[in-house]
Amino acid sequence: MGEKVYIVKKMKEDERGMPLIGDKFPKMEVQTTQGMMKLPKAFKGKWFILFSHPADFTPVCTTEFFAFQERYQKFRDLNCELIGLSIDQIFAHLKWIEWIKDNLGVEIEFPVIADTGRIAKTLGLIHPAKATNTVRAVFIIDPEGIIRAILYYPQELGRNIDEILRMVKGFHQIEKKQVAIPANWPENDLIGKGLILPPIPDIEKSKKRSDKYKCFDWWLCYRNYYKW
């Protein structure tokens, strides 16, 4: 009987799958280049970005780490921290970080998780064609520990770090002003830096918005970014 219970429980754990947008970030204890950390507790009250890379000492990953560090203060200005991850041992991370400092003149200040594969499997990061590598993934987690965005990239395509920074800025506007963010914000082709107002189910009330806000129609209204 006990064995059957175990089997059912194990199947449920295996079938649970990777966390999705809107889920709580899984609680885990991780070894990093800055010591042991408990996630998401270590970043309580802050936004944080967990990003995985295929492997240390690889060309594309090196350019990404350089770019993340160059913008690290901009992330921190948004109350957002960074933490990297790959299936590499801690000494490999440390030697790679040392190489980046010695050869590129940049000191990586954010922690990097050393994973045996357990964390990558939990987060659904194992590359389907290369079982020992993680995909390039980005998890954006809010101060309540909720996953707000997930991005995936192939191994051969490096991430646009400015886009990730833009997303965090956008989430700040969404939280602060209860709005939606248009395409390519803050340089949208239609409304520039404008922010989209959520639609109102009552059509008559929505039509009155045009007296106060700029509208293309009752369901597409926005207001200037600077007039809040």
From CA 158, how far away is CA 215, in angstroms rounded? 38
From CA 68, how far away is CA 138, in angstroms rounded? 12
| Candidate list 61, 80, 215, 221, residue with the active-site label | 61
Judge contact between 88 and 61, C-beta under 8 A.
no
Query: 56 vs 85, 140, 155, CA distance in Å?
Result: 10, 22, 13
From CA 140, how far away is CA 138, in angstroms rounded? 6
- 92: amino acid identity, one letter: A
Q: Is 162 helix (H, G, I), strand (E, B) or coil?
A: helix
Q: Is 153 helix (H, G, I), strand (E, B) or coil?
A: strand
User: Is 61 in the active site?
Assistant: yes
From CA 4, how far away is CA 190, in angstroms rounded? 60
Of residues 20, 23, 86, the one with CA closest to residue 58: 86
Residue 124 burial (C-beta neighbours within 10 Å; 0-12, 13-18, 19+):
middle
DSSP 135: -
From CA 20, how far away is CA 67, in angstroms rounded? 26
Q: Which residues are known catalytic residues? A: 61
